[in-house]
Amino acid sequence: MKALEIKNISKSYGGLDVLINVYFTLEQGERRAIIGPNGAGKTSLFNIISGIIKPDSGEIYLLGQNVTRLSTYLRSRLGLARTFQRNTLFNNLSILDNVELALHSTKSDSNIKDILRNWGLWDKRKVIVKELSYGEQRQIEILLALVQSPKIIILDEPTAGMSPMETKTITEMIKSLSRDITVLIIEHDMDVVFNLADGISVLHNGQILCEGSPDEIKSNPLVKEVYLGTDH
């Protein structure tokens, strides 16, 4: 059984085709990165996978189940967790309340104290999220998705706006995730992508331009032309 199957997904707004027949599959435990220039349709694809927007055509299968018509919350209950490009947190609540809400949703019996201690957030647990630094908020964005004990996690630019040190920490954290969790990641930082991904799909003008291993993508002249440039 595949973790995720995206079958011929298309989406347009007015005359603008955002996604055109996007097709790819993810094996369980796989780590796949989606790269592409701004406006390629990456975030729209993530919003369609998580059920925030509906595709015009095509189907999505999550762990073998057709979820195309399912609401966001039902997809989440099937084991799909996501992070957002812009921090989407409970800004006026404390770190503790944020994590508690994520834990209650799964009725998990994980110990909140242990989780916050492991993430070095226990001493700050009562701090209101909007008072944290951007990097810390980004960390909580990922934490909320992870405490759901997901089977598939989709990460929308997890290291965007982070310092090199913070990027390194987050990359290592994602890398250390259990192979029981399938990871789909949008990322612009190519060092992060090449460090993390087993496979890469390149999205360009709403279409999958090519797919392959990091080495294949690095050496693909078409990808160099439209996205990577000559540095990679």
Partner 1 sequence: MISILNKLIPAETNLPWLAKVTMLLILVLLPFILSSYGLSLLTKVLIFGLFAMSLDILVGFTGLVSFNHASFFGVAAYTVGILVNRGFENFWLLLIPGIAIALLLAGLLGLLILRSSGAYFLMITLAFGQMLFALAWKWRSLTGGDDDGLPGIGRPEIGLPISMWNEQNFYFLVLILFIGSFLLIKKVIKSPFGKSIVGTRENELRMQSLGYNTWLIKYISYIIAAGFAALAGILYTYFNGFISPQELDWSMSGYILLMVIIGGAGTLVGPVVGAAVIIILQNLISTYTELWPLFMGLIFILCVLFARDGIVGSLLKLYQKKVGEMK
Residues in contact with partner 1 by the rule CB under 8 A: 50-52, 71-73, 76-77, 81-82, 84, 88-93, 97, 100-102, 104-106, 144-145, 148
- Return the number of the residue (52 or 173) whose C-beta is nearest partner 1: 52
3-state class of 37 per DSSP? Answer: coil
* Shortest Å distance, C-beta 93 to partner 1: 6
Distance CA 42, CA 36 (A): 7
Residue from 43, 50, 110, 100 nearest 80 by CA:
50
Residue number with CB closer to partner 1 (92 or 230):
92
**Torsion angle defined by CA atoms of residues 98, 100, 102 and 106, in that order, rounded to the nearest 10 degrees:** -170
Nearest approach in angstroms of CB 94 to partner 1 is: 11
Instruction: Pick between residue 103 and residue 193 the one whose CB is nearest to partner 1.
Output: 103
φ, ψ for residue 29 (rounded to 5)? Answer: 85, -5
CB of 88 to partner 1, least distance (A): 5
**Least distance to partner 1 from the beta carbon of 129, Å?**
9
Task: Using DSSP bridges, classify how beta strands 152-156 and 57-62 pair: parallel, antiparallel or unpaired.
Answer: unpaired
Whose Cβ is closer to partner 1: residue 9's or residue 80's?
Answer: 80
Q: How far is the CB of 57 from partner 1 (least distance, A)?
A: 23
Residue 142 vs 223, nearer CB to partner 1? 142
CB of 211 to partner 1, least distance (A): 27
Which residue in the block uniquely carries the two structure tokens 């647990």?
A: 125
166-173, long-range: CB within 8 Å, 24+ apart, which pairs? 166/135, 166/138, 166/139, 167/192, 170/138, 170/139, 170/142, 171/195, 171/196, 173/142
Q: Cβ closer to partner 1: 52 or 226?
A: 52
